[in-house]
Amino acid sequence: MKIQGRLPSGDRDGLTALEPAVTKNRSPLVAIVILDPKRIDEDVDTGHREAVMRIRSIEALLPDDLDAAMRLLRRAFEHRTGAVTLPIDLEDELRDVFTSVNFDTGEVVEDDDAAEGEA
């Protein structure tokens, strides 16, 4: 599979406006992209077919959404590779449980107190 290297035009391009910040800070972007097949190439000798995908829409994620996006990316990777995954609501519940425990004392505490115990 190949990806056509052109960004979509108009409102579907959520990256171009960020170019000044990227060139200044040299920081990576995390984005959500929607792809669809632009064409299917076929080698007539072998019959091998290859999809060439185009970017239909792309948006950089907001900083507050990065944790959720990384979890979704990890879950998709685990699903594709056959690794065991937890249901996302159980993963959320486990994270909440572990962030509400002071690991020095084992005491269940409020969010602000748990952060102090980790420091």
pTM above 0.85, yes or no: no
| pLDDT of 90 | 74
In the predicted model, what is the mean pLDDT of residues 75-97? 78
The strand pair at 2-3 and 49-60 is best described as parallel
CA–CA separation, 88 and 92 (whole Å): 6
Residue 22 CA to residue 112 CA, distance in Å, equals 34
Is there a contact between 45 and 35 (Cβ–Cβ < 8 Å)? no
Alpha-carbon distance 119 to 89, whole Å?
Answer: 27
CB 73 within 8 A of CB 43: no
Q: According to the model, what pLDDT value does residue 52 have?
A: 96
Residue 41, amino acid: D
Distance spanning both ends of the chain, measured CA to CA: 46
pLDDT digits (tens, 9 = 90+) for 76-85: 888 888 887 6
Residues 55-70: tens digit of each pLDDT: 999 999 988 888 888 8
- Structure tokens belonging to residue 94: 């486990």
